């Protein structure tokens, strides 16, 4: 059973999984493509969204022709091409594989939003996101826009690579996205002439990173020239040599990811909740709450009365928050100094009868609110909500 419910922007998609590394050049796109093929071989319906807007490479590795734009279906939604059983969408399909992506931040967001809501993915068990390197605005946009079931972190054996990959893992922790584990790429090179094994980039960096972060180690992938050649030829190694060591390693990792998705936490999933009439409310799941559950993952939200938001946390604690207190706690740049963190919002300017108009899930980690005074830029991380109002006996987190 998928860990995440389908998003309104992605009807029919069971789980969305980010394949990430804060460092470039670790083979993340190669890993994404071959993981998709391995998941498909295990019976899963799989798609890839190439979220690396400035450096798209997925379509080349899948052998998809970029000479013509993909067709449009109902509602002018893009119909993704299929290669090796994998549906895929990439910026390269719209710009040409050899055109430089000279885009400013707002335009990158525009294209990302196109990929969010403008693609007819159909029924998928898993959608893989090939993330761009870094931990900046694009990555945060993705974390806020996609209901991620989880993420995997790719590194190479070197300490420098693992150290940068650690930042990527911490980023997902900050936005309350489960990290399924760490993959070490480019570990061992086996000489095709003599059969000797050489660890050209070191050995065990991924395992050490996983151990340091308390995460599962999903597996190691060999440094194999055939993998590079296969990607250049548009035939992933998991297709071209399905019985080879690389394909077997991908198969093992894919199975572990399937298991991680099945065991993933449920949470509330995506929602848009009209405060006045109650439509779109996220629900109240007492069966998902109890001792030992995560203290900053909500199992339910409801309107206790016109002035009170009630939250059920997965550790079983129920919390009530006055909606005006929620408005005064806004941490956006218009309400709080970004350098010092001190509030700049004058409480006297906030009406006593202020009320939410709409509440929505922001990724898997926060609540966004549109207010009756027109304010809409605030994002309230669940950890901040938990700390906002201290009910008697409410434990610290």
Q: Please tell me the predicted confidence (pLDDT) of residue 393.
A: 45
> What are the φ and ψ backbone dihedral angles of 97, each rounded to 5 degrees?
-70, -20
Distance CA 170, CA 326 (A): 27
Domain locations in the chain as residue ranges: 13-263, 272-388
pLDDT of 388 over the 60 cut:
yes
Instruction: Identify which of 318, 20, 358 has the alpha carbon closest to the alpha carbon of residue 179.
Output: 20
Question: Average pLDDT, stretch 332-341?
Answer: 84
Q: Please tell me the predicted confidence (pLDDT) of residue 192.
A: 60
Instruction: Identify which of 55, 142, 51, 54 has the alpha carbon closest to the alpha carbon of residue 104.
Output: 54
| Residue of 72 and 11 predicted with greater confidence | 72
172 Cβ partners below 8 Å, 6+ apart?
18, 20, 143, 148, 151, 153, 178, 179
pLDDT of 377 over the 90 cut:
no
227 within 8 A of 30, measured Cβ to Cβ: yes
| Residue of 6 and 256 predicted with greater confidence | 256
Q: Please tell me the predicted confidence (pLDDT) of residue 47.
A: 95
pLDDT digits (tens, 9 = 90+) for 147-195: 788 899 998 887 777 778 888 888 887 777 888 989 988 776 555 665 5
Res. 306 pLDDT band, cuts 50 70 90 = very high
230-239, 249-258, 276-285, range with the lowest pLDDT: 230-239
Q: Please tell me the predicted confidence (pLDDT) of residue 128.
A: 95
pLDDT digits (tens, 9 = 90+) for 29-46: 999 999 999 999 999 999
Distance CA 309, CA 304 (A): 6
pLDDT of 99 over the 50 cut:
yes
Q: What mean pLDDT value characterizes the chain?
A: 82
Q: Please tell me the predicted confidence (pLDDT) of residue 100.
A: 54
User: 13-263: what CATH class?
Assistant: alpha beta
| Residue of 95 and 26 predicted with greater confidence | 26
Instruction: Identify which of 121, 146, 188 has the alpha carbon closest to the alpha carbon of residue 19.
Output: 146
pLDDT of 395 over the 50 cut:
no
Res. 3 pLDDT band, cuts 50 70 90 = very low
Distance CA 180, CA 201 (A): 24
Q: Please tell me the predicted confidence (pLDDT) of residue 391.
A: 43
Res. 372 pLDDT band, cuts 50 70 90 = very high
Question: Average pLDDT, stretch 238-253?
Answer: 89
191-195, 268-272, 336-340, 377-381, range with the lowest pLDDT: 191-195
Residue with structure tokens 């399924």? 180
Q: Please tell me the predicted confidence (pLDDT) of residue 204.
A: 65
> What distances in angstroms separate CA 248 from CA 243, 312, 359, one per listed residue?
6, 43, 45
Fold adopted by 272-388 = NE0471 N-terminal domain-like (3.30.2020)
Q: What is the pTM of this model?
A: 0.73
205 Cβ partners below 8 Å, 6+ apart?
155, 156, 157, 158, 159, 161, 162, 184
Q: Please tell me the predicted confidence (pLDDT) of residue 389.
A: 58
Q: Please tell me the predicted confidence (pLDDT) of residue 1.
A: 34
* DSSP state for residue 126 in the 8-state scheme: E
Q: Please tell me the predicted confidence (pLDDT) of residue 96.
A: 59
Within 13 A of 306's CA, how many CA atoms are on the CB side?
5
Q: Please tell me the predicted confidence (pLDDT) of residue 267.
A: 64
pLDDT digits (tens, 9 = 90+) for 273-303: 999 999 999 999 898 888 888 888 899 999 9
Q: Please tell me the predicted confidence (pLDDT) of residue 330.
A: 92
């Amino acid at each position: 059973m998928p860990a995440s419910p389908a998003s309104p922007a992605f009807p029919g998609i069971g789980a969305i999984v980010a394949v990430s590394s804060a460092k470039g050049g670790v083979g993340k796109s190669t890993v994404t493509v071959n993981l998709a093929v391995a998941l498909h071989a295990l019976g899963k319906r799989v798609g890839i969204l190439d979220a690396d807007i400035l450096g798209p490479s997925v379509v080349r590795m899948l052998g998809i022709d970029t000479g013509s734009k993909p067709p449009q279906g109902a509602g002018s939604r893009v119909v993704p091409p299929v290669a090796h059983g994998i549906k895929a969408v990439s910026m390269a399909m719209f710009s040409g594989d050899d055109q430089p992506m000279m885009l400013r931040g707002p335009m990158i967001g525009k294209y990302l939003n196109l990929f969010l809501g403008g693609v007819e993915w159909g029924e998928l068990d898993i959608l893989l996101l090939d993330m761009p390197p870094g931990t900046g605005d694009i990555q945060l946009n993705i974390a806020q826009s996609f209901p991620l079931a989880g993420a995997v972190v790719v590194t190479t054996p070197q300490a420098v690579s693992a150290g940068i990959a650690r930042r990527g893992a911490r980023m997902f922790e900050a936005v309350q996205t489960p990290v399924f584990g760490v993959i070490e790429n480019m570990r061992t090179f086996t000489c095709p002439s003599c059969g000797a094994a050489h660890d050209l980039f070191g050995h065990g960096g991924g395992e050490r990173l996983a151990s340091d972060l308390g995460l599962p180690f999903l597996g190691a992938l060999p440094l194999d020239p055939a993998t590079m050649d296969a990607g250049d030829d548009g035939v992933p190694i998991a297709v071209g040599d399905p019985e080879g060591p690389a394909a077997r390693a991908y198969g093992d990792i894919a199975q572990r990811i399937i298991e991680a998705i099945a065991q993933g936490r449920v949470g509330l999933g995506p929602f848009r909740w009209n405060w006045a009439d109650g439509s779109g409310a996220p629900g109240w799941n007492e069966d998902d709450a109890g001792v030992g559950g995560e203290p900053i993952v909500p199992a339910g939200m409801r309107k206790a009365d016109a002035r009170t938001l009630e939250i059920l946390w997965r550790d079983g604690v129920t919390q009530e928050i006055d909606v005006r207190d929620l408005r005064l706690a806004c941490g956006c740049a218009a309400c709080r100094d970004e350098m010092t963190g001190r509030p700049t919002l004058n409480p006297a300017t906030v009406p006593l009868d202020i009320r939410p108009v709409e509440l929505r899930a922001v990724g898997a980690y926060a609540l966004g609110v549109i207010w009756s005074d027109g304010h809409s830029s605030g994002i309230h991380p669940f950890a901040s909500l938990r700390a906002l109002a201290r009910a008697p006996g409410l434990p610290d987190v």
